[in-house]
Amino acid sequence: MSEALRIGMDIGGSKTAAVALDLSGAVVASTQLLTERGPDGVLDTAEHAIRELARLTARSAREFASVGIGIPGQIDRELGVVRNAYNIDVARLALAELLSESTGLTVTLDNDVTAAAIGAAHLMGLSGTVAYLNLGTGLSAGFVVDGAPLRGSHGVAGEIGHLAVDRLERPCPCGQRGCLETVASGSALKTYWPAGGDHPGRILLSAIAAGDAEARTAFEYLVRGAANCVRLLVLALDPHTVVIGGGLRLLGDPLLDGIRTTLDEWSAASPFLTELQLGERVQVLPEDSSAAAVGAALAGIS
Ligand SMILES: [Zn+2]
């Protein structure tokens, strides 16, 4: 009999990453496909990913031990239902039940950022309390405490992007104004630097290197916002490590250096902050890791 493998999936707004993990938690197969939107499309995408992993691991799809799915939106883990996942055009979908019916496998759901926190802690070998800061189009965080995800009583733990902080009071998709998400996220970067187009993070560093002053200022605003998020997470949870992930992690070492320098500047003026050793807690997720898919597999029941 072949070894039991767990499937993990990260269903995102444009792409879906899927992995198969062995019992030790190592990735033995991975694939990526475009996400089809809407309830039927998301279900099709998940089924397609399972068939592809079955092909890659030379087994029948029914032989997998479990399927864990990380997906944006509000998750009811008990019912296996995702709600309000607007970037994949899903208002409500009983994804766990439907996918389980069509594949015969045990399926569990998790919020994508919580899944990424679990995956990052595993892939980076982090113990203790880990806060994962997702700097994507939006802004949110996920938590792992001594190896266990912290989801909160209503699955809202980590939605720090909607703390209103900015006196410029830019409108936020949540209906409030001046949210942290409007100062530290991919969408914030777009407003700081409209010339950067739809994916400003991809060209920001090269524009700065070419002497673009507006790009430099946008980067500085973004760094300050991200440093503020790190400070918030440390004050709220006192984690051993804050991992920076999400699309803007591609800014890599310049982002990490900028955040640490900013935290050091704030700490120089505050004995209280100095004690917290903020900069030493921050790391950036390695760029090629499928943290959310791996974390979803680990959180799946098997
Ligand atoms: Zn908001």
Residue 140 lies in a domain: yes
Same-domain status, 185 and 45: no
Dist. CA 145–CA 148, nearest whole Å: 5
pLDDT of residue 2: 64
Dist. CA 276–CA 238, nearest whole Å: 9
Residue 302 lies in a domain: no
pLDDT of residue 154: 84
Same-domain status, 100 and 132: no
For 41: left if phi > 0, alpha if psi spans -120 to 50, otherwise beta; the answer is alpha
Cα of 140 vs centre of ligand 1, distance in Å, is 10
Q: Indicate which CATH number applies to the domain containing 40.
A: 3.30.420.40
Dist. CA 100–CA 105, nearest whole Å: 5
Q: Quick: pLDDT tens for 82-127.
A: 998 888 999 999 999 999 999 999 999 999 999 999 999 999 999 9
pLDDT of residue 62: 93
Strands 148-150 and 139-145: antiparallel
Same-domain status, 134 and 111: no
Cα of 172 vs centre of ligand 1, distance in Å, is 5
Q: Quick: pLDDT tens for 149-203.
A: 999 988 889 999 999 998 889 999 889 999 999 999 999 999 999 999 999 999 9
Same-domain status, 66 and 201: no
Dist. CA 107–CA 118, nearest whole Å: 17
Residue 226 DSSP SS3: helix
Cα of 162 vs centre of ligand 1, distance in Å, is 4
pLDDT at 302 over 70: no
Dist. CA 235–CA 207, nearest whole Å: 34
Cα of 84 vs centre of ligand 1, distance in Å, is 15
Same-domain status, 189 and 96: no
Cα of 115 vs centre of ligand 1, distance in Å, is 22
Cα of 44 vs centre of ligand 1, distance in Å, is 31
Same-domain status, 90 and 41: yes
**Residue 152 sits in which domain range?**
126-284
What φ, ψ does residue 126 adopt, rounded to 5°?
A: -95, 130
Cα of 176 vs centre of ligand 1, distance in Å, is 5
Dist. CA 22–CA 26, nearest whole Å: 6
